[in-house]
């Protein structure tokens, strides 16, 4: 709570909440929420958890060169990571699931983190693809706020960043010895000597985590599963839409999914408060959905995405015998010193 980045995230969330709710008629919003048919959340949550299982399989696939771990073992750890991202700031759940994996399977944290970063890069590429596929349709709409132009500009910048990162990781995976030499030179030249051995060990384990990217077939499989994951999540958006009194195309929901998930990379309060909601409402209103219905749907969707996975992740974390606050910080601290 004393960290400056936590309070920065809170401030950003407050700003996005204001953007999401300004001009909202609360009585119309409350009416839309009351009239919703929440039975549609059940198949939506079911489809979402199928997507989480595919995520666990993708992680199992990325870790294959390091250690063969069954998907059923990866699934609980994946849900713990989601819970950590939803509860703690700065996506601490990613580090937490790497720590749990080391505790259970002995996989080095740095190698796990390499595979997790690869996951996030592929997720970003797919999200941007969702945006680009639907930009022509969105560009036909009108928006006095200039929101459409902002999406196009952000998509172009984001594409450059994610594709650049992907290229770096692919080159590092294909030329590990060259990468290790360059990394070793940087470490020896620009870091204190007492840290050289530890940093070199971390770098080598990190490079080991990229081994799955050396095969073009593996890269294709990771991309394919990433597309399936995000299509399944869009399926949840589609089911929850049926609980409310509006209809947009599946492609419009793909666009919404891409934009809100790219927006959640912006630092915010835990749970992506505001950064998920403001762009989601903006996309739907651009498609002609009234603000009250768009707000009711987006906030309900946010809760439906946040609550079930957080509860399940907390359950699996409790089964691991790790408790909140001090115990988690102790686990993270101990594994941050691996070499």
Q: With 60 as the cut, is the pLDDT of residue 299 above it? A: yes
pLDDT category at 329 given cuts 50, 70, 90 is low
b/e per residue 1-24 (b: at least 16 CB within 10 A): eeeeebeebbebbeebbebbbeee
Q: Hey, is 263 helix, strand or coil?
A: helix
Q: What average pLDDT does the segment 210-235 reach? A: 92
CB atoms within 10 A of CB 68: 9
- Name the pTM for this structure: 0.86
CA dist., res. 91 & res. 334, Å (int): 19
pLDDT grade for 327, boundaries at 50, 70 and 90 = low
DSSP 8-state secondary structure symbol assigned to residue 245: S
Residue range 143-169: mean pLDDT, rounded: 68
Q: How confident is the model at residue 145 (pLDDT cuts 50, 70, 90)?
A: very low
Q: What is the dihedral of CA 14, 20, 25, 28, to 10 degrees?
A: -120
User: Over the stretch 13-65, which tens digit does the pLDDT of each residue have?
Assistant: 888 888 888 888 889 999 999 999 999 999 999 999 999 999 999 999 999 99
Neighbour-count burial of 61, counting CB atoms closer than 10 A to its CB (0-12 exposed, 13-18 middle, 19+ buried): middle
Give the residue from 328, 111, 331 showing the smallest Cα distance to 202.
111
How many CA atoms, within 13 angstroms, populate the side-chain half-sphere of residue 35?
14
Given a cut of 60, whether residue 189 has pLDDT beyond it is yes
Q: Do residues 86 and 270 make contact, with C-beta atoms less than 8 angstroms apart?
A: yes
Given pLDDT bands bounded at 50, 70 and 90, which one contains residue 328?
low
């Amino acid at each position: 709570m004393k960290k400056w980045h936590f309070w920065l995230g809170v401030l950003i969330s407050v700003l996005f909440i204001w953007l999401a709710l300004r001009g909202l008629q609360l009585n119309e919003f409350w009416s839309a929420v009351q009239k919703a048919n929440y039975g549609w959340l059940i198949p939506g949550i079911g489809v979402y958890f199928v997507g989480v299982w595919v995520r666990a399989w993708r992680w199992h696939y990325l870790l294959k060169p390091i250690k063969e771990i069954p998907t059923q073992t990866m699934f609980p750890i994946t849900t713990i990571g989601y819970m950590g991202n939803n509860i703690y700031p700065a996506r601490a759940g990613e580090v937490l699931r790497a720590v749990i994996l080391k505790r259970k399977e002995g996989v080095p944290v740095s190698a796990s983190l390499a595979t997790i970063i690869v996951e996030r890069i592929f997720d970003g590429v797919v999200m941007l693809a969702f945006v680009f596929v639907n930009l022509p349709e969105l560009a036909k709409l009108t928006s006095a706020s200039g929101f459409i132009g902002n999406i196009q500009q952000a998509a172009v910048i984001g594409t450059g960043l994610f594709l650049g990162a992907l290229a770096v990781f692919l080159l590092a995976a294909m030329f590990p010895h060259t990468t290790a030499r360059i990394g070793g030179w940087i470490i020896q030249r620009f870091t204190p000597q007492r840290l050289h051995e530890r940093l070199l060990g971390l770098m080598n384990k990190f490079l080991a985590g990229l081994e799955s990217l050396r095969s073009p077939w593996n890269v294709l499989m990771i991309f394919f599963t990433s597309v399936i994951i995000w299509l399944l999540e869009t399926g949840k958006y589609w089911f929850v839409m049926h609980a409310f009194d509006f209809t947009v195309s599946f492609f419009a929901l793909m666009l919404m999914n891409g934009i809100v998930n790219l927006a959640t990379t912006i630092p915010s309060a835990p749970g992506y408060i505001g950064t998920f909601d403001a762009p989601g409402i903006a996309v739907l209103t651009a498609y002609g959905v009234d603000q009250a219905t768009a707000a009711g749907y987006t906030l309900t969707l946010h809760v439906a995405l946040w609550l079930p996975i957080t509860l399940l992740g907390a359950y699996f974390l409790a089964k691991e015998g790790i408790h909140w606050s001090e115990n988690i910080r102790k686990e993270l601290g101990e594994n941050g010193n691996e070499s």
